[in-house]
Amino acid sequence: MLTILLMDLSQIAVDIPTLKLCLSVVGGLLALSMVRILFLLRSNARLRESTAKMEQQVLNQQQALLSVRSDSNAWRGDLQRMFDSFRAEFSKRLDESEQRYQNIQQRSEIISKPAKPFAMSTPSMPPSFAMARDEEPEDKSVLPVPALNIS
């Protein structure tokens, strides 16, 4: 096939109008390719600019994200410190109230213990008074106050 093309090319008469026509076709294709290259260069420049803007936006968003993350971490740390201080304070108060409760329990046990050895060693008390004292209930609970009827 290549040989046929070469033969055909050799048989073409080299005349000036044919050469001008070929030259104008090649020149037109060259001009079109140059115009296309210029358009591609312009679009490439616009793409570079938009890429630079996008990269800048990404950097700004990343900085904003990091600042929000650091703010939230600082806020979380503050809340954790406040929670720890409240927990320590209320733990201390709970320990103090338990200690007070234990002291009150010990005092009430000391007070509520019957003094039988002491009562038997003192014969000066009349036996009727001692009996009345033994008959009293040891549980002296406080009765609830009746609710007020508001109508």
What is the rounded distance in angstroms from the CA atom of residue 51 to the CA atom of residue 63?
18
Residues with Cβ < 8 Å from 33, sequence gap 6 or more?
Answer: none
Q: Dihedrals φ, ψ of 137, to 5°?
A: -70, 140
Instruction: Specify the pTM.
Output: 0.41
Which of 80, 83, 81, 79 has the alpha carbon at shortest distance from 91? Answer: 83
What pLDDT tens digit does each residue of the chain (151 aa) get? 555 555 565 666 678 888 899 999 999 999 999 999 999 999 999 999 999 999 999 999 999 999 999 999 999 999 999 999 999 999 999 999 999 999 999 988 888 876 555 555 555 555 554 444 555 555 555 555 555 556 4
**Which pLDDT score, from 0 to 100, does residue 55 have?**
97
**Which pLDDT score, from 0 to 100, does residue 10 have?**
61
Q: Dihedrals φ, ψ of 114, to 5°?
A: -70, 140
**Which pLDDT score, from 0 to 100, does residue 86 have?**
93
**Which pLDDT score, from 0 to 100, does residue 117 have?**
56
Q: How far is CA 100 from the centre of its chain?
A: 41
C-beta of residue 18 within 8 angstroms of C-beta of residue 11: no
**Which pLDDT score, from 0 to 100, does residue 9 have?**
59
Buried b / exposed e along 36-47 (16+ C-beta atoms within 10 A): eeeeeeeeeeee
